[in-house]
Chains A and B, each alone.
Chain A
Amino acid sequence: MAERKEPKSKYTLDRQTPGAFEGETVTRRRVMVVAGQAAGGVAAAAFVLPALGFAMGPIFEKQDQPWQSVGKVDEFTDESYVPRTITLVEGIGDAGKSTVYIRKYNPDLDTEPRDEYNSYIAISTLCMHLGCPVRFTAAAQRFICPCHGGVYDIVGKVNGGPPVRPLDRFYTRLVNNAVLIGPRFSVNSELRRFSPRDPGEPLDGVGQYLYPSRPSMRKIQGT
């Protein structure tokens, strides 16, 4: 059997390192190298971490969604939709505006229980395939997307095409005979309310866990 190699001593003096001290285990060169690299790392982190936080910040910031009036109660019926323009983002002109289709709650059509936020139904025009703007076609009584052929019925449930869930909705409220539009929320195929998700993110089954809601936008607590 080959002779085993003598393990190196942990003392620099035994290893005959030039300039070694009694009882020294780490050379001064090694200390300088580690200290230099650590200083470089700290200096880099000092600008990289704030910059990253700066870029990521908006993900964790809660977006303000003020209630806005879209008209008097007698402007809407429970038969068909009336389009109204609302402002989602202030200060960027047309790019911050969106169309919402509004009608009165109709017990013949709507299956979800009445509460203080759905005496008027406000349907978002964001297609739930990839976010193109859908249009309500009165003759067909359907929402139709021009991009990839998504079709939704009169309450916004998917009739055909690639969309993965029914059209999003907005909370509505009545104040002094005016209809107010509030935050957006998403619905699954049973029209149960969820915190708003982006288009293309299914909410049925495992979808609600694969596509978590984000801190920037949540549904109203307890609805």
Chain B
Amino acid sequence: MAKIKLPAPPSNPLVSPKRPGKKYGPSGPLEHAEEGAVSAVGWIDERTSLSGGLRWMMFRKVPKGTNWFYTLGSSTMFAFLSQAVTGVFLAMYYDPSATRAYQSIQFINNEVFLGEFVHAMHRWGSSVMVILIFLHMGRTFFFGAYKYPRELNWVIGVALLVMTMTMSFSGYLLPFDQRSYWATIVGVNINGTGPLVGPYLSEFLRAGPYFGATTLSRFYAIHMLLVPGAIAALMGFHLYLVAKLGTTAPPWIRAKAPEALREEKIPGDS
């Protein structure tokens, strides 16, 4: 016979045991609601062990001297999230066809409740994201936070910067007014000036030799599916490396030697 002793099941699963440090179990609707929320979170955590990962991500040790400049990365991420959410809702009204795109933007701006506001958030938010990403890059550079062992994170950050620029370029066409149209013609032709591959690259972007029927939908697919998915994935990896490697102290913080070592005199040192 097996000698394993299984713990006895709780006598009544509907009655919560009292919490440690409390005299009684939950009483009153508020405490019961709290108990319900706690047990729901507990149910998920028992099956996923997510809390460990979350604690690892959120409660990290940060070096002395950490300041507001260290929030530029998460600011960029929130700018991206804002772009993602407003973009999803703009997509509900937007029509990526060369003959109806402009009207659908007019409809969003003039008819839809809060349409102009959400459109403006997306439009101005794109500039905010580009500004923040450069500030974040500058912070990383001037604080020397790109050095070993964080070089790979710098490289990923540069890829994210390029993809953000791709988003700006592809999104610029979508309102399909005169400015969008000619700016995209010029932008695609700039791509075409690369030797050997340039002509094929511009043709790929236009889906043909001329700005055609599928150019707009191609830009739309790049703008809302291809690049944002890649940005989200790389951003996740970027964050993982930040949590794994930790952040750097600002360059003006000197490392303090432990007390015992400071007392020690180096031979030959006066």
A200 CB contact (under 8 Å) in B193, B196, B210: B193
Asked if B198 contacts A92 (CB within 8 A), the reply is: no
Is A56 among interface residues, defined by CB-CB distance under 8 A? Answer: yes
Asked if A61 contacts B196 (CB within 8 A), the reply is: no
Asked if B214 contacts A132 (CB within 8 A), the reply is: no
A58 CB contact (under 8 Å) in B99, B182, B193, B214: B214
Please name the residue on chain A nearest to B202 by beta carbon. Answer: A198
B186 CB contact (under 8 Å) in A96, A132, A213: A132
What are the residues of chain A within 8 A of B195 when measuring CB–CB? 210-211
Asked if A200 contacts B192 (CB within 8 A), the reply is: yes
B side interface size, CB within 8 A: 29
A131 CB contact (under 8 Å) in B186, B199, B203, B214: B186
Is A201 among interface residues, defined by CB-CB distance under 8 A? Answer: yes
Asked if B204 contacts A198 (CB within 8 A), the reply is: no
Instruction: Report the separation of the CA atoms of residues A197 and B202 in the bound assembly, to the nearest whole angstrom.
Output: 11
Is B36 among interface residues, defined by CB-CB distance under 8 A? Answer: no
Is A166 among interface residues, defined by CB-CB distance under 8 A? Answer: no
Q: Which of A59, A61, A88 is the most central at the interface, judged by chain B CB atoms within 10 Å of its CB?
A: A59
Encode contact with B along A56-86: 1 for CB under 8 Å, 0 otherwise: 1011010100000000000000000000000
Known contacts A89-B211, A201-B198; A130 and B189 CB within 8 A of each other: yes
Interface bin, chain A: 20 to 34
Known contacts A201-B193, A201-B198, A214-B203; A96 and B185 CB within 8 A of each other: no
What are the residues of chain A within 8 A of B181 when measuring CB–CB? 95
Instruction: Report the separation of the CA atoms of residues A217 and B185 in the bound assembly, to the nearest whole angstrom.
Output: 18
Known contacts A92-B99, A214-B203; A63 and B186 CB within 8 A of each other: no
How many residue pairs bridge A and B at CB < 8 Å?
Answer: 88
What are the residues of chain B within 8 A of A216 when measuring CB–CB? 203, 208-209
A89 CB contact (under 8 Å) in B186, B190, B210: B210
Is B212 among interface residues, defined by CB-CB distance under 8 A? Answer: yes
Please name the residue on chain B nearest to A164 by beta carbon. Answer: B193
Known contacts A198-B202, A214-B200; A61 and B208 CB within 8 A of each other: yes
Asked if A95 contacts B209 (CB within 8 A), the reply is: no
B98 CB contact (under 8 Å) in A61, A93, A198, A213: A93
Please name the residue on chain B nearest to A198 by beta carbon. Answer: B192
What are the residues of chain A within 8 A of B209 when measuring CB–CB? 63, 196, 214, 216-217
What are the residues of chain A within 8 A of B212 when measuring CB–CB? 89, 92, 96
Please name the residue on chain B nearest to A92 by beta carbon. Answer: B98
Instruction: Report the separation of the CA atoms of residues A147 and B186 in the bound assembly, to the nearest whole angstrom.
Output: 10
Known contacts A58-B207, A95-B181; A199 and B189 CB within 8 A of each other: yes
B220 to chain A, nearest CB (A): 14
List residues of B whose CB falls within 8 A of some A CB.
98-99, 176, 181-182, 185-186, 188-190, 192-193, 195-196, 198-200, 202-204, 206-214
17 pairs, CB–CB < 8 Å, chain A vs chain B? A58-B206, A58-B208, A58-B214, A63-B209, A91-B99, A91-B213, A92-B99, A92-B213, A95-B98, A95-B181, A96-B212, A200-B190, A200-B193, A201-B199, A213-B199, A214-B200, A214-B203
List residues of A whose CB falls within 8 A of some B CB.
55-56, 58-59, 61, 63, 88-93, 95-96, 130-133, 147, 196-201, 210-214, 216-217
Given contact pairs A93-B98, A200-B192, a sample of 13 additional A-B residue pairs in the complex whose CB atoms are under 8 Å apart: A58-B204, A89-B210, A92-B99, A93-B99, A132-B182, A132-B185, A133-B182, A197-B199, A198-B189, A200-B193, A201-B192, A201-B199, A214-B199
